[in-house]
């Protein structure tokens, strides 16, 4: 997605439309995809969550490894992740502000907070962080 990643877009959709059900899937194709899509639609129609076995295993493994939450308090907020993504994709502060509907000063404040929170010294460090965290693709 060129402007926001799927998780950040989902957060914005749920903020705007809290009762909206959202189905997220990747472009990976295999024999089980049709079964998963049907099962996901059934779960969503009953206002329940649905995760494929593979996704559940990844989420659970990250939880067990302690990657679900940062023990050092360095977890970015959803808005900070949006800012990181837009800037790391090459947007200028003014462009990021326009995409998010906020002021340039707010983007600048978020950027400074992010750099401080993550202990980053340069914009290049921010881009490397975004790639490592899979906020953007290299």
SS3 124: helix
CATH domain 78-132 topology: Arc Repressor Mutant, subunit A (1.10.10)
Name the residue with higher pLDDT: 1 or 84.
84
Considering the chain, what is the average pLDDT of its residues? Answer: 82
Q: Check: CB of residue 2 under 8 Å from CB of residue 85.
A: no
**Where along the chain do its domains lie?**
6-64, 78-132
The pLDDT tens digits for 16-48 are: 998 888 887 666 666 667 777 788 888 888 888
Query: The pTM is what?
Result: 0.52
pLDDT digits (tens, 9 = 90+) for 99-115: 999 999 999 999 999 99
Whether 52 has a pLDDT exceeding 90, the answer reads no
Task: Please state, in angstroms and as integers, the Cα–Cα distance from residue 39 to each residue in 42, 65, 103, 137, following that order.
Answer: 5, 29, 42, 29
> Which DSSP category does 76 fall into?
P
């Amino acid at each position: 997605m060129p402007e926001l990643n799927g998780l950040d877009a989902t957060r914005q959709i749920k903020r705007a439309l809290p009762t909206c059900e959202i189905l997220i899937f990747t472009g990976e194709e295999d024999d089980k995809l049709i079964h998963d899509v049907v099962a996901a639609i059934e779960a969503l129609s009953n206002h329940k969550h649905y995760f494929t076995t593979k996704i559940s295993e990844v989420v659970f493994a990250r939880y067990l490894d302690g990657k679900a939450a940062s023990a050092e308090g360095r977890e970015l907020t959803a808005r900070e992740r949006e800012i990181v993504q837009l800037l790391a994709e090459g947007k200028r502060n003014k462009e990021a502000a326009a995409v998010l509907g906020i002021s340039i000063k707010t983007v600048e404040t978020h950027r400074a907070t992010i750099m401080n929170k993550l202990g980053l010294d340069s914009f290049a460090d921010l881009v490397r962080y975004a790639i490592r965290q899979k906020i953007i693709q290299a």
